[in-house]
Amino acid sequence: MQINTLIVVPARSGSKGLPDKNIKLLGGKPLLSWTAQAIVEAGLLDCLSILSTDSAIYIEVAKQIGLEAPFLRPADFATDTASAIQVAEHALDWFQRRYGYMPESLMWLQPTSPFRSPAILHQAWAILAAGKADAVIGCKEIHRDLTTLFRCDGGFLSPLDKTKSTQTTRQQLQPLLTPNGAMYCCKTAYLLEHKSFYPERTMPLIMNAIQSLDIDTEEDWAIAEAFIKQGLV
């Protein structure tokens, strides 16, 4: 069977804000497990999902939750300064050496976004498979105008857009979109040539605030636990 999409779940062990957060129990199961389960439930065809980690402990956890972990990521790609593109390239290099060819696309799923839905993953995969876009990225809406987004210049607020008066009425605004970090899916050829997940033909998939939650701090973790406690996920 030809593997057309490589799904990479990146999980290094050196988190400073929340030590070992990727295997910390959330809702009674390791954080990694939420992403692994979403991949299974998405029912994606012709895909291979792997964990990219620098931790032997994480590899053992991956085996327990049914996520393949075929290598230990080199230390050079497990630092605070290592980029997502470098880690993706390392995974693609491993894939090529093992299978002798490159997958058509790569899906990047950070385990710190546990509440993305399987439907979102399937939708992104289907869009790329149908050739409707060269990349699909999870996004969240920002109901703000550039006139209400500011820099701090000399200690004072300076709007990004000074050409018009401040717009504060929500109904008048066209929402801005920003990547939420939950899902990136990109054609491999573009990613390798341009070192980017953002081709010109990049389509957004908009997720709500719960699906867009990115756990990076103790406060984020508390919010995630509250969502689970309230039955919102």
pTM of the model: 0.92
Q: Are 23 and 89 in contact (CB under 8 A)?
A: no
pLDDT at 2: 93
The CATH number of 5-142+178-229, from 3.90.550.10, 1.10.1060.10, 3.40.50.720, 3.40.47.10, is: 3.90.550.10
pLDDT at 66: 92
**Which residue in 211, 192, 32, 207 sits closest to 106, CA to CA?**
192
Give pLDDT tens digits along the chain (233 positions).
899 999 999 999 877 778 899 999 999 999 999 999 999 999 999 999 999 999 999 999 999 999 999 999 998 888 878 899 999 999 999 999 999 999 999 999 999 999 999 999 999 999 999 999 999 999 999 888 888 889 998 899 998 888 887 776 665 667 889 999 999 999 999 999 999 999 999 999 999 999 999 999 999 999 999 999 999 99
pLDDT at 147: 84
